[in-house]
Amino acid sequence: MEALKQFKPEWSDWCPGCGNFGILNAEQQAIMELGLNLERVVIVSGIGCSGKLPHFMRVPISGVHTLHGRAIAFATGIKLANPSLEVIVNGGDGDLLGIGVGHFVSVGRRNIDITVIIHDNGVYGLTKGQASPTLLRGIKTKSLPKPNINDAINPLFLALSSGYTFVARGYAYDVKHLKELIKMAIKHKGLAVIDVLQPCPTYNDINTKEWYDKRIYKLEEQPDWDPVVRNENEVKDKLKKAIEKSLEWGDRIPIGVFYKNETIPSFEERISQAAPSYYQYYPSSQPIEIEGKLN
């Protein structure tokens, strides 16, 4: 409990009980436990309740609160300008998979070394709870006059088919588990995404904490589950299994790592091969001073 108090925001205007608090706590703890150089951590957010996350951070990192749906584009620019930075995107399902879905898909082709965290609550919380892209067809939350008539996007399926090389799902009320997923995603070489099931107690009275608690189970506790690609020959098989697993939703909902593949070069490595003079100091495991060294 002491550790959690340390990360309690000094102020916040999120509703009491919001799943965003769990994501904030998990992310702060992950950053601290990894021992990252805080001057080199940048959090980029879009618009929505989740977009306020950089403002509420207790750890002294840099935050950029950008335009609706454009957080991934900003993050890509930041990472390319200085590849020694750890860049994390926080966005809602409406932000990243609605107006920002073009960027969400396109960045998959690049495998750029950033982490994307989706605050997935099925509603546009900041604007009074309209149906967002992940709300299933036929669901009527208390903020909708009629059941949703649109089909839902499956974020994991979309990420897997777009080229993300680390794909996971977390749960906002299991902070310890989510923290470990965030640590894995940050350490992963390449593009990582975590779809976080984030109950919105104010507008989504269907996918509540009680609803999720009955259904969620952990992939790593299943005896035969192995999401790691160890060589290029395994890619097709592991991807197929991850896609199949991403479709499981209903009485049982899996969380954990669905897919992890470090056999594909990151965007930074591809650039460094194509134009060695540009990233002459990359890759490096040590913090490096980029300023003045690029030519």
Residues at the contact surface with ligand SF4, assessed by CB under 6 A: 14-15, 18, 20, 49, 121, 125, 200-203
Q: Let me know if 223 is exposed, middle or buried by CB neighbors in 10 A (0-12, 13-18, 19+).
A: exposed
CB of 65 to ligand SF4, least distance (A): 15
* CB of 48 or CB of 108, closer to ligand SF4: 48
**Residues 75, 69: Cα–Cα separation, whole Å:** 12
CB of 172 to ligand SF4, least distance (A): 10
* CB of 52 or CB of 188, closer to ligand SF4: 52
Decide: 158 and 186 in contact? Cβ < 8 Å: no
**Residues 207, 28: Cα–Cα separation, whole Å:** 25
For the CA atoms of 259, 265, 271, 274, the dihedral, rounded to the nearest 10 degrees, stands at -150
CB of 128 to ligand SF4, least distance (A): 8
CB of 204 to ligand SF4, least distance (A): 7
CA distances (Å), origin 58, targets 48, 127, 163, 242, 271:
20, 26, 33, 35, 35
CB of 198 to ligand SF4, least distance (A): 7
**Residues 91, 155: Cα–Cα separation, whole Å:** 13
CB of 124 to ligand SF4, least distance (A): 9
Six-digit token string for 268: 């930074």
* CB of 202 or CB of 266, closer to ligand SF4: 202
Phi and psi of 258, rounded to 5°? -95, -30
CB of 159 to ligand SF4, least distance (A): 22
* CB of 145 or CB of 292, closer to ligand SF4: 145
CB of 123 to ligand SF4, least distance (A): 7
Alpha helices in the chain (DSSP H): 2-6, 20-33, 53-56, 71-81, 93-94, 101-106, 155-162, 175-187, 209-215, 235-246, 267-274
* CB of 14 or CB of 74, closer to ligand SF4: 14
* CB of 29 or CB of 204, closer to ligand SF4: 204
DSSP 6-41: HT--SS--SPTT-THHHHHHHHHHHHHHTT--GGGE
**Residues 25, 14: Cα–Cα separation, whole Å:** 14
* CB of 83 or CB of 125, closer to ligand SF4: 125
Percentages helix, strand, coil for the chain (3-state, rounded to 5) are: 40, 20, 45
* CB of 171 or CB of 267, closer to ligand SF4: 171
